[in-house]
Amino acid sequence: MTKQTSAYFVTGTDTDVGKTVATAWLASELALHSRTAVVKPLQTGTTTPDVDGDEAFYRQHLNSTVTLTTIRSLPEPLAPSIAAQRIGESIELAPVVEQCETIIRDHDVTLVEGAGGLLVTINEREDMAALALALKTPLVVAIRPALGTLNHTMLTIEAAQRRGLKVDLLVCSGFPDDAGVVELENLRFLRDVFPSLPLVVLRMGDLIRGGLKELQPRILGSKPRLLTNCDIPMFHFDSRHMKR
């Protein structure tokens, strides 16, 4: 019988929205039941990603059973196409896709973390959406809880749908303990507008001191298929802050 494998492309509504935190948390949950890999195809802002890149964060918070790979790194913290151009290089998508596919075949589940948002450019012709399409992966979209997230989230979902990409999960990263009307109404709005789209809420925790358990995940809606074997409590709105 052929081994079933799956992969998901983790993108964000912007840079620094908690995409790496969301990826690490998902990998920690998945690794309890599956042979799991995390791939960073394109890392910018460092040439030593296992020391000061996203891979370093993964190594700090994930156990050794998770396979961690950075395919290509570039020194300046810019869009990959620009970072490559500034050192006289270019990035071809095909070799990146091939390396990702090799890792995907060797694991039960693989998380591929993009750089920035879905339309961040890889070269003059292709972007992160093109990479996700080439890998035939559904999307996990990391979002902010704060003001502005509704526009960013809906634009990202629309861009994905226009390109034939399926969004499987939203992850709201950095949800504050003292959440007020803005954060709570944003969650309610997204739940109302996308009722069939699962949404996981990760709190803003002290990861340096407490690790990934600080995130205290909660879920809105049905459980996403990639977390079928994971026990995640439901998110409950505080009625004192809600309009209805």
3-17, 63-77, 207-221: range with highest mean pLDDT: 63-77
Q: Quick check: 23 and 36 in contact, CB under 8 A?
A: no
Instruction: Give 242 or 149, the one with higher predicted confidence.
Output: 149
Q: Is the dihedral of CA 12, 16, 19, 22 positive or negative?
A: negative
- 136 given a catalytic annotation: no
Asked if the model's pLDDT at residue 240 lies above 80, the reply is no
Angle made by CA atoms 136, 231, 203, in degrees to the nearest 5 = 85
Query: Which residues make beta-bridge pairs with 61?
Result: none
Segment (H or E) for 202: strand 199-203
Active-site pick, 3, 40, 136, 213: 40
Read off the pLDDT of residues 158-204 as tens digits, 9 standing for 90 and up.
999 999 999 999 999 999 999 999 999 999 999 999 999 999 999 98
In this predicted model, what pLDDT tens digit does every residue of 87-137 receive, in sequence order? 999 999 999 999 999 999 999 999 999 999 999 999 999 999 999 999 999
> Domains in the chain, please, with CATH?
6-241 (3.40.50.300)
Nearest to 8 by CA among 94, 131, 117: 131
